[in-house]
Amino acid sequence: MSSVLNTLILVTLCGSLCWAAEAGIELPHLDFKPIKQLPADIPTCQENDLNINECIKQAFQQITPRMKYGISELNIPALDPYELGKSSYNYNSGLLQGRISMKDVVVHGLSEGIMDKVDFRLKNNRVRMELNSHIPKMFVEGLYKADIKLNDLKLTPKGRFNVTLTDVSMRARPMGELYERDGHTYLRLTKFETEPKVGDLRFYANGLVPDPALNDVILDFINQYWRQLYEAMLPETLATWQPLILKTANDFFAALPFDMIVTKS
Ligand SMILES: *[C@@H]1O[C@H](CO)[C@@H](O)[C@H](O)[C@H]1NC(C)=O
């Protein structure tokens, strides 16, 4: 009897604790090899160029289409399509309570990105940037599993999903500091805040409920109220992603001397 009770307590504890421990993202492994020299076709900018903002903008514009195949000399993997590993999110807003896990997620469209505005400031070894960019169309597909509560209704849907996002705009404000190592200057980011905004969104999923007709009714509802749902889901989604983006950006910049891309005169 007591062992049954023990098991029950364990299961209950795990129900709340293992849940929290499990939340997060698992990305495909990336290898950042130290970069000794830039390939000749990689654009660079000069630190004291009066038009450095325009130079950086043009550089992004030249590099972005090449994201399709990746640029191995810069440790940039193929980003279009971009294959995500597993990720899971815990949501706890009035609209949506529970956990959503996704796997085999593929993101299309990143190489069509357009850099609209760059504001680069460098002063006393501190770097502040404002990058405004947009992607005209993105398509994301994958598998999902959820465990959610809507009022007293408990749902455990599971299936395939896809989302078409149009006009995704992003304001990023990376901030960091320059430091010296082995005769080169490197950038270490301290902050990387982003604010993705979506123009329009179209969502499809099967398996929301067993009945396909009711599944369609739910899809209509979600597509009608996607903006409210998006806003309810954004804070937790960003909270899960932002530390990882910062870490990945720092691994990238620890391998690529900053004075190779923004050269001193
Ligand atoms: C998205 O999923 C729906 C439902 O499975 C499917 O009918 C549709 O073709 C998919 N969209 C694309 C662009 O693959």
Residue 1 pLDDT: 45
Q: Which two tokens stand for residue 111?
A: 């190489």
Instruction: Output the CATH code of domain 33-263.
Output: 3.15.10.30
Which has the closest alpha carbon to 24: 94, 112, 86, 97?
86
The residue behind tokens 């597509």 is: 223
Q: Cβ(204) to ligand 1 under 6 A? A: yes
Residue 3 pLDDT: 56
pLDDT tens sequence across 219-255: 999 999 999 989 988 988 888 888 888 999 999 999 9
Q: Which two tokens stand for residue 103?
A: 């796997």
Q: Cβ(241) to ligand 1 under 6 A? A: no
Q: Cβ(106) to ligand 1 under 6 A? A: no
pLDDT at residue 210 above 50? yes
pTM of the full structure: 0.84
Distance between Cα 165 and ligand 1 center (Å): 13
Instruction: Give the C-alpha separation, 115 to 241, whole Å.
Output: 21
Is residue 235 classed as helix, strand or coil in its secondary structure? Answer: helix
Residue 92 pLDDT: 86
Q: Cβ(203) to ligand 1 under 6 A? A: no
Mean pLDDT throughout 42-61? 96
pLDDT tier for residue 95 given thresholds of 50, 70 and 90: confident
Residue 69 pLDDT: 92
Instruction: Give the C-alpha separation, 46 to 5, whole Å.
Output: 69
Distance between Cα 141 and ligand 1 center (Å): 9
Residues with Cβ within 8 Å of residue 263, at least 6 apart in sequence:
44, 45, 46, 47
